[in-house]
Chain A
Amino acid sequence: MIRLVREIGAATVRFVEELGQLGVFAGAIVRSTVSPPVRVRLFVAELFKLGVLSLIIVCVCGLAVGMVLSLQGYNTLVRFGAEESLGAVVGLSLVRELGPVLTALLTTGRAGSATAAEIGTMVATEQLDGLRMMSVDPIDLVVTPKALAMIVVMPLLSALFIVSGLAGGYLVGVEMMGVDSGNYVSSLRASIDFYDDVAGSLLKALVFGMLTGLIATHRGYTCTPNSAGVSAATTSTVVVGSVSILISDYFITALWGV
C-alpha cells in the first residue's frame, strides 16, 4: 500500500518535472524565434520535408475518410428520408473534428516521428555537441525551424484533408448513391459557418501543430544517446503526441465550442 502511494507520488513528480522541462524548452524555442537571425532557408527546407512529403498521404486518407463518412451518413439519413442533408453531415464532421484530428494523428506518425528520430540521431552522434562547441545554439539552428514548420504546416494539411474529404463525400454520395448534386453542395454551404466552424478548425490544427512540433523536437533533443534511445524517442513521440492531441481536442471542443 505504502509502496503504491510512493510510486504514484514518484510518477506524479516525474510528470510535473517533465512538464516543466517542456515549458522551458518551449520558452527557448520562442526566444530563438523572435531573436535574429531569422533562418528562412532552413524553415522553408523543413516546410518542404514535413509538408510537401505528407501531401499524398493526407490526400489519400482525406478522400477515404470522406467516402466512408458519406456512405455511413447516407445509410443513416436515408432511414429518416433526410438524405439531402448529406453534405452538411459530411462537411460538419470533417471541418469541426475529423479534419484537424486525423491530420494531426497522421502527421505525428509520419513527420513527428521522423523529426524525433533525426534530432535523436544528431544527439547520439554528438552532432549537437559539435554545434555547441562552435558556439552555435542547436535550438536555434536545428530545433526551431523544425518546430515552426510543424506549426505552419498543420493547418494547411488539415485544410487539404478536409477538401479531399469533401470530394470523397461527393463522389460516394452524388455519383454512387444518387443524392442530388445541388442538394449536397447547398446543404454543405448552408450548414458551415466561417467563424464558428472554419476558423475553429484552423485553430485546432494550429494547437495540434504546436503540440506535435514541441513534443517531437523535445523527445529527440533529450534522447538517450544510443540507438535504443533514438527508437524510444520516436515511439514516445507518436504515443505522447497522439494522446495529447486527443485530450486537447476534447478541451478545445468543450471550452470553445469548436
Chain B
Amino acid sequence: MRGTEARHEAQVAFSNVGMSFGRREVFRSLSCGFPAGKLSVILGGSGSGKSTMLRLMGGLVRPSSGTIRVADTDVTTLSESRLFEVRQKLGMMFQGGALLDALTVFDNLALPLRERADMSEAEIADLVHARLEAVGLADVDDLLPGQLSGGMVKRVAVARATMMQPAILLCDEPFSGLDPISAARIERLLLGINRDHGITVILVSHSVASTLRMADHVLILLPDGPIEGSPTTLASATDPRVRAFLGGEVDETLIGGGEDPVPSGLLS
C-alpha cells in the first residue's frame, strides 16, 4: 500500500471524501491517489462507486465532505466557471457514451475542437478521421449515435475523450461489450496515450486480464475501504477479496446467496 508521501505527487488525490446520494452512502471516508503519468485502474463491485469517483474528479457532483485535488486544484469548492478551466485538462469517457444524439459521429468528435481549438475545418476533419481510425472505425462519419452498436458507441466515446489531448484521461469501462480484437485495439491505444504522451490515464474496468497487463497502479474499492497498490504487490496479497478480483478465483463464502441459490420451485 502506498504511503502519504506518494500521494503528494499524485495528480488526482482524494482525501477523506464522503459521498452520499440522499440517504444512500457511497463513500464514508475515501482517501486514495492516482500517480501522475501512470496508468491506474479502478476495480470494484457493481455499484461500489467507480463511476461516482470519476464524476467527482470532473466536478460533476460534489462530495458531502473531504477534498479532491485534480492537477493541484481542489475541485470540491470551485465555481462552475472555474471548473471549466480545470476540465480543459481532463478528457472523460462516460460509461454510456454520452454522445450528443442529435449530432452525427463526425460532429460529435469535431464539437470540442470547434468550440475550443483554433483550427480550420480541414484540420479538424483530418484529426477526427485519425482518431476514428485509432479506435478502429471507418465510414461512420454521417451516422447518428442511435445508429451505432453498443461497442461502436464505446469506441466513438473513447475517441471523443482523447480529442483535445487532455493531461488526464478518465475512461469508464472502455472494454465492456467489445469483441476481443476491438478491446485489444483500445487497450493498445490507451497504453500508447499513456506511454508515448505521458498522459495520466485512469480507467474503470472489470477486465482483470487487461488490468494486470496494463496497470501501473490498481485501486480496489471494497465495502470497508479501498486497497491500492501495484499489480505485483496486490497479486501477492492474502485478502480473499483481492484474490477474487485479481485472480478470478472467487471464494465460495464471498458469493453468499444461501445453500440453494435457485429455489427449485422457480424452475419446475
Contacts and interface: CB of A to CB of B under 8 A. Distances in A.
Please give me the 7 A-B residue pairs with the lowest Cβ-Cβ distance, nearest first.
Answer: A130-B98, A126-B98, A133-B92, A134-B112, A135-B84, A135-B87, A135-B88
A143 to B, nearest CB: 14
Interface in B54-106: 55, 58, 60, 83-85, 87-88, 90-92, 94, 96, 98-101
Interface string A112-150: 000000000110011101111111110001000000000
Interface in A128-185: 129-137, 141
B45 to A, nearest CB: 22
Interface string A5-37: 000000000000000000000000000000000
B239 interface: no
Contacts of A127: 98-101
For chain A, the bracket of interface size reads 10 to 19
Contact of B116 (A121, A125, A135): A135
B224 interface: no
B98 A134 contact: no
Chain A interface mostly helix, strand, loop or mixed?
helix
A2 B84 CA distance: 47
Given A126-B94, A129-B94, A134 B100 contact: no
A132 B98 contact: no
Nearest to A137: B84
A132 B100 contact: no
B115 interface: yes
25 contacts: A122-B100, A122-B101, A125-B96, A125-B101, A126-B94, A127-B99, A127-B100, A127-B101, A130-B92, A131-B100, A132-B84, A132-B87, A133-B60, A133-B87, A133-B91, A134-B87, A134-B160, A134-B164, A135-B88, A135-B115, A135-B116, A136-B111, A136-B115, A136-B116, A137-B84
A141 B92 CA distance: 19
Contacts of A141: 115
Contacts of A122: 100-101
A136 B112 CA distance: 8
A246 to B, nearest CB: 32
A135 B96 CA distance: 19
A104 B241 CA distance: 61
Contacts of A125: 96, 98, 101
Interface string B186-208: 00000000000000000000000
A137 B99 CA distance: 15
Interface string B107-125: 0000110011000000000
Nearest to A129: B60
Contacts of B160: 134
B115 A134 contact: yes
B109 to A, nearest CB: 11
Nearest to A45: B102
A131 B87 CA distance: 10
B218 to A, nearest CB: 24
A186 to B, nearest CB: 50
A125 B55 CA distance: 14
A127 B144 CA distance: 14
Contact of B96 (A121, A126, A131, A137): A126
A130 B99 CA distance: 7
A145 to B, nearest CB: 12
A48 B164 CA distance: 32
Given A126-B94, A134-B164, 12 more contacts: A126-B98, A127-B98, A129-B94, A130-B99, A130-B100, A132-B83, A133-B58, A133-B92, A135-B87, A135-B88, A135-B116, A136-B112
A129 B55 contact: yes
Contacts of B84: 132, 135, 137
Contacts of A134: 87, 111-112, 115-116, 160, 164
A133 B171 CA distance: 12
A232 B55 CA distance: 25
A134 to B, nearest CB: 4
A133 B60 CA distance: 8
A141 B160 CA distance: 18
B214 to A, nearest CB: 23
B164 A132 contact: no
